[in-house]
Amino acid sequence: AGQPAARGLSRISGYGLTEVAMLDVAVVGAGVVGASIAWRLSQAGARVRVIERSRPAAGTSGASFAWVNASAKSPRDYFELNLAGLREHQRLVEELGGAPWYHPGGNLVWVAEDELPVMERRVEELLSWGYWAEWQSAQDVQANLEPGLRCADPTARLVFYPEEAWVDVPLLVGTLLDLARSAGAEVIEGDPVVAIEVAGGQVHGLRLRSGAAFAVHAVVNAAGPWAGRIAGLLGLPLPLAPSAGLVVRVAVPGEPIRRVLHTPIVNVRPDGPGHVLLHHDDADAQLGDRREVEAHDPLSWMLLERARQVLDGLEEADVVAATVGIRPIPADERSCIGAVSAVGGYYEAVTHSGVTLGPLIGRLLAQEILTGEVEPVAAPFRPDRFPRG
């Protein structure tokens, strides 16, 4: 608090702010992205309110497979953004002196025989971009990485990405919000934003469903699937192409898997002691319009039966929860990060892969709000690429 403001403060507001401690910011959304932004702004001395329509990590973040990666990202600029996101997670672990939510160990991708030529080209491309990838035989994986892998063909090939990880999202979000609170932030739950006030082309305040109202100098839209509604309060279109994803939590004896595993029929990762998490695009495709799924839904059993085909130790496993999340994907499938020039003091942080990108976006957007600086890695993902009239 009390530190001199750089040029960003005077540019985003017509209030003549001279210190970060004079800046009032509302962050809408308390998933990984919103919690990361709130912490970094609070840490810098800004006065921050986090406005969450439900409860922290209750939306997309809490229904994510939560796999931190860049291997599945294209084209090159989007790969680089996600690689920077992966690195930011690693730096966060160092900065905080440990991170019980962060589970390194890598990611294994079991490649179907008919997909080998495509994957060989992809791995070659990733290696040329400086990304760590290794080919492994099923026999090597069973001997050194995942002894429970079920594969009748010892020569089957897998790709190992050693730097990738998975995240315990509720623990990460809870920690970030605790850090933000300790730096002075307020977190408001269960009270959606219903109006954003603008005066002279500048964000001026916001009002919640409860009737509570606050004066603000800046609003950050990190509302995930509801980001379009928040933008709509300002009369701004935000084109989204959301998609639904199903994750299934399974209680298991022992430790059948140690790291993230992608196979042609199911994706599996650990999910804390005595549990694994399952996902696959096939199940997503069969959701239709459903946004809630019972634990023992046929889709849950389909994923568990498939998991039993690729891993030992799941004979006594049982489904305990099935969750549908709505991925907030901008219409061009690229992240939307930064100031929207049509309204002063209004920023967007809307993206797929919010778990991978959240800590990075937190730092980058706080930096932009406080200094006006945009790092090159984020420059291709500005919100103004969409017509906002």
The pLDDT of residue 1 is 33
Looking at every residue in the chain, the average pLDDT score rounds to 94
CATH 3.30.9.10 fits 104-165+242-327, yes or no: yes
All CATH 3.30.9.10 domain ranges of the chain, comma separated, are: 104-165+242-327
Tokens of 217: 């100098």
Using CB atoms within 10 A of its CB, is residue 2 exposed (0-12), middle (13-18) or buried (19+)? exposed
pLDDT tens profile 98-146: 999 999 999 999 999 999 999 999 999 999 999 999 999 999 999 999 9
Give every CB contact of residue 108 below 8 A, 6+ residues apart in sequence.
136, 141, 145, 146, 158, 159, 160, 161, 259, 260, 261, 262
pLDDT at position 22 is 87
* CATH 3.50.50.60 domain extents, the chain: 7-62+169-238+331-385
Helix 76-96 crosses helix 354-371 at what angle (to 10 degrees)? 80
Indicate if the pLDDT at residue 152 is higher than 90. Answer: no
pLDDT at residue number 249: 98
Whether domain 7-62+169-238+331-385 has CATH 3.50.50.60: yes
Question: From CA 131, how far away is CA 241, in angstroms rounded?
Answer: 29
> Which residue reads 């498939």 in tokens?
306
**Res 147: pLDDT:** 97
Q: For 4-32, write each residue's pLDDT tens digit.
A: 334 455 455 444 556 787 899 999 999 99
Give mean pLDDT, residues 23-48: 98
Beta bridge partners of 285: none
CA dihedral 257→263→267→272, nearest 10 degrees, is 10
User: Which pair of structure tokens corresponds to residue 11?
Assistant: 């540019």
Are residues 275 and 307 in contact, defined by beta-carbon separation less than 8 angstroms?
A: no
Q: Listing from the earlier edge strand, what are the strands of the sheet with 213-215?
A: 193-199, 202-208, 213-215
Q: What is the pLDDT of residues 169-212, one digit of tens each?
A: 999 999 999 999 999 999 999 999 999 999 999 999 999 999 99
| Three-state DSSP state, 304 | helix
Question: How high is the pLDDT of residue 204?
Answer: 96
